[in-house]
Amino acid sequence: MIRLRPEFRAPLRRLLHQALGEGDHLVQLDGTDAIWLALMALGIGPGDEVITHANTFFATAEAIWIAGATAVFVDCDPKTKCIDPDKIEAAITPKTKAIIPVHLYGQCADMTAIKKIADKHNLKLIEDNAQAIGASGAGFKIGQLSNAATTSFIIQKNLGTFGDSGALVTNDEKIDATVRKLRNHGSNARNIHSFGFNSRLDDIHAGFSARSSSTLTI
């Protein structure tokens, strides 16, 4: 495997901290994996329900199903096409554990309203930010009001590479540590493994995305 110099990763990390929001911890991995690994890190799985946006790519719901939970769809706001906060509470049941709002077309879902609902019902929040990297809302930045925010670098996204890759940013040390371990064959120390997966962002994709990031204005 070709290993790129560390300075190829550093520009991408700086951009992602700016573009993905307020999180102190950033994990580079696959975009779809970022969502379901975040769900696993939050203890969400079989028997749980996760509310998300009906107007989104299949991968958002797919990630919920991979984690073992059930996706519950809520319709979009007719103006923004993002999830309609006024329709979320009707979809909440005793099994609901999280909400995954999807930011679309370079604009944010109404995270202020969604955060109020999540706090009222003690629900976790994961932002799917695959299509609005660098965006911000009225009085908030992406990642500021959620447990974690994710993005994708597949070629047709705002910031693309030449294959599948993505990232997760969070302020939660437990989510950060759990996702880092799960994405690396369940390992955080050489030759010591537990249950996990192979979902690391390789250096080639990091380098390519870092070069592409020069076209973004944050």
Local confidence band at 95 (pLDDT 50, 70, 90 cut-offs): very high
| pLDDT band at residue 194 using 50, 70 and 90 as cut-offs | low
How many Å apart are CA 125 and CA 49, to the nearest integer?
Answer: 13
CA 166 and chain centroid, separation = 8
| Residue 106 pLDDT grade (very low, low, confident, very high; cuts 50, 70, 90) | confident
Range with lowest mean pLDDT among 13-17, 63-67, 178-182? 13-17
Report the percent of the chain where pLDDT is more than 70: 66
Contact 206, 12 (CB under 8 A): yes
At 141 the pLDDT is: 83
pLDDT band at residue 18 using 50, 70 and 90 as cut-offs: low
Q: What is the pLDDT of residue 4?
A: 39
Identify the pLDDT of residue 142.
Answer: 82
Please give the pLDDT value at position 180. 81
Q: What is the pTM of this model?
A: 0.81
Q: How many residues does this entry show for the chain? A: 218
Calpha distance 116→96 (Å, rounded): 15
